[in-house]
Chains A and B, each alone.
Chain A
């Protein structure tokens, strides 16, 4: 019985291979887009981490001596024994024939392996031994290796990845000897949380202060936002693909109604039938899922080099542009394919379960939505859109944000056929000729059969507009913000307070202005935050990105009468101008303004420099902003004169360039995904049109018989597809903009605490409109050509009685 049933069920696919291909293609592309995006995300994140750690931890907290001097090695031992996970670090310069070389001594035993530079040799064991035992080994970048080719006094060199130029990594013992500072440590890197029994730092090492991770990883935090949105995009593309799958499964089930009924009449229990169909779908889902994951891998590996190239530029660290195949990724791809199929098939399976045994088969009933179903759909659409509106107004929480997103998109998709129905009716009423009247009426009648494909197109276009608007808004706002925020041409970090003094003296005549930047950790509104001290200078008054401010805000800040807070803190605590904030040592400080601070998860407050000095006298005096006309020359001079590393003197232009690079790459990736989603939607249109083609004949044959050529009819079919695509596009623009608004103003605020102002890019929409027409045109070309070539006696069969 089961075997015979299975044969009967499966023979359908053999007779209709095209349907099988459609189903597989829909599912595979959906899975491919989803898993491709996931792969890019995962790989990029891994790359950020690797890249950030390769510089021995700008993302890690450090312990430094309060007096800014060296730490005794004994302190390190005490801390380790007490349960603190710290790793010692020493830094200094040694002379070499080609100028000073910066040596960083690290401890390979206590530093996590991910933080260690990766040597490009096949025998890591030998390297480890050479690294640890005298004369030791210097790990350098290939360029540095060349420069040091005749430095015979130094230990042997070995090239490694991710090391900045002019820097050598050595074992800490070797480095101490080289630098002549035996038993001394500069910093202790905190590699993990202390054990539960570990006493607080004040008790074990009262001379040390904890310094939180520097801002070096801001860009990585910023990209988090992109990854979230990329994920949203992947999900949307997946949804678009599911529309095809749903269409194909629905059709295959409808056409097999007769078979189902026969099997049931022959005594197969409904449960067995359902189990057989579920098994069939599961196999299809797994096969399509495998193909999809493979395709996704291809997509990701094509797009990833763009991402990788950016990272390489950003971190000066070499990052693989190649994907590693993770088993978890394969599994999640298969899982999502299976879940997607389940979602797409649920309705059809339910219908089979409730199939009345004796009801007559209703061929083509699926294509004709009854009035009742249409009304139900309208009610559902309106309910969902109202839900979205309510959620949008009341807001609150990331989950609510995504629910809003879902309600909006599903509601819009459900509303689409109804909107199109009314619009076409309106056009039809305005028609004058018999042909145009027929055209509108007939287009309207095609809607139920095409609505799934059109919904897919709507989602694809809305995702395009939404994500495109978000990325473009992000770029415009962010680059504008960088211009404001990084108003100084150079940013300088001294290695010690003594050096800072020297630098100031040296710079007094060489820079237009030296603006001290001081900061300290503090509890603000009950959460860890940072307090910054800023000088009173036109640089801030002219450029600082204030979102809201009182009058004379800078005068009040400079006079120590008021504070500025960042947007994150303002939004979290409702601290807008007029409110007050408790800063340690300064209760009820008036808030005079709020500034945007993209990408920073922490709250931040800014006070005048004098006030800061009074509040945090111990805060290090190491950072400066430099104003100058010749940043390049000054930077080179600083590095040469003081032997500072490139990382200590960053110039604003290259930070901006890096950020712009990130956006360019992101644009490439988004653009590619856009084209892919649109292609999927075009595929949905193509398959629907081909499916409808046979059913179209009774509708077209009379018109042909009454005096229209097949070519003319084909042209009208093409026009119809273009028209429906254009109307769908018109609906998609507002949906996409609302989607963008949700991404920017709800999801982003919930996830990161800051709101991006939305900018509109109508020129992108025009381009997208052209693309969607192109997609619809291409999709309807084949069916139209087929129609134009239909032999007359094929059409005449419509009128003949059944033989």
Chain B
């Protein structure tokens, strides 16, 4: 279960600090799926990065299954990313020097949770069995995103974060990839928080939140 309370974050702008998040409150139950929408520049990615332990907040708390992420140091956040969180970004998710099979297994092996059968099953479900020996640069954008999803789910995280995972894909293939992700996330029982611009994609989620002026709207 994810609980975010009164989260603040500002960046250094040209004329002093610019507040991006101004007291975000949010609650995501285990196994729940949630879409995060908002205008460009509203702070969606920033929020996701803070929850994922990729950056640190100015104030407020983020609690994941009882652990206060904001209190962790660099190493603690790295361990959290490795063991409990999976992130899928819009692009460049993959490690260029490793082939598809190694990319899928990477986080799971790093976290010591590698399950060969599960990884194989994921590859099959994601339609990647013919591409396991290829390198990221040899794949199409959609294939790359499917590998990223496979990599994330292979590690069986309790929380999956996705930042416009299909933003670089056309509508059709975007929808297919997202459906696959939703189905697989449900199988693992993880919670999912995904940022998207597409209202139709947001419609597939159990809950929807809108970010405006640095706060959750309504």
Contacts and interface: CB of A to CB of B under 8 A. Distances in A.
Tell whether A and B belong to one assembly: yes
A95 B79 CA distance: 96
B78 A708 contact: yes
Contact of B107 (A442, A707, A709, A798): A707
Contact of B98 (A438, A701, A705): A438
Interface in B36-69: 45, 49, 52, 54-56
B109 A434 contact: yes
Contact of B109 (A433, A703, A704, A709): A433
Nearest to B79: A707
Interface residues of B, number: 37
A707 B54 contact: no
Contact of B97 (A699, A707, A708, A801): A699
Interface in A708-732: 708-712
Contact of A711 (B56, B74, B89, B90): B74
B87 interface: yes
B195 to A, nearest CB: 11
Nearest to B110: A434
B105 to A, nearest CB: 7
A346 B84 CA distance: 54
Nearest to B136: A702
B175 interface: no
Contact of A699 (B91, B93, B96, B164): B96
A441 B97 contact: yes
A394 interface: no
B92 A798 contact: yes
B93 A796 contact: no
B97 A438 contact: yes
Nearest to A803: B40
Contacts of A362: none
Contacts of A698: 92, 96
A578 to B, nearest CB: 64
Contacts of B56: 792
Nearest to B73: A709
Contact of A437 (B54, B91, B96, B98): B98
Contacts of A705: 52, 54, 81, 87, 89
Interface string B16-27: 000000000000
A544 B176 CA distance: 92
Nearest to A799: B89
Contacts of A703: 95
Contact of B110 (A699, A707, A792): A707
Main secondary structure of the interface of A (DSSP, over half): helix
B75 interface: yes
A434 B164 contact: no
A504 interface: no
B117 to A, nearest CB: 18
Given A706-B110, A707-B82, A792-B55, A799 B96 contact: no
Contact of B90 (A792, A793, A801): A801
B167 interface: yes
A799 B97 contact: no
A434 B106 contact: yes
Contact of B91 (A706, A710, A801): A801
A800 interface: yes
A435 interface: yes
B132 to A, nearest CB: 15
25 contacts: A433-B109, A434-B102, A434-B105, A437-B98, A438-B95, A438-B106, A441-B98, A442-B95, A445-B96, A698-B92, A699-B96, A702-B92, A702-B93, A702-B94, A704-B78, A705-B81, A707-B83, A708-B78, A708-B82, A796-B45, A796-B55, A798-B92, A799-B91, A801-B90, A801-B164
4 nearest CB pairs, A to B: A707-B82, A799-B89, A434-B109, A441-B97
Given A705-B89, A792-B56, A799-B90, 19 more contacts: A434-B102, A435-B110, A438-B98, A438-B102, A438-B106, A444-B97, A699-B97, A702-B93, A705-B54, A707-B81, A709-B75, A711-B74, A792-B54, A796-B49, A799-B91, A799-B93, A800-B45, A801-B167, A801-B168
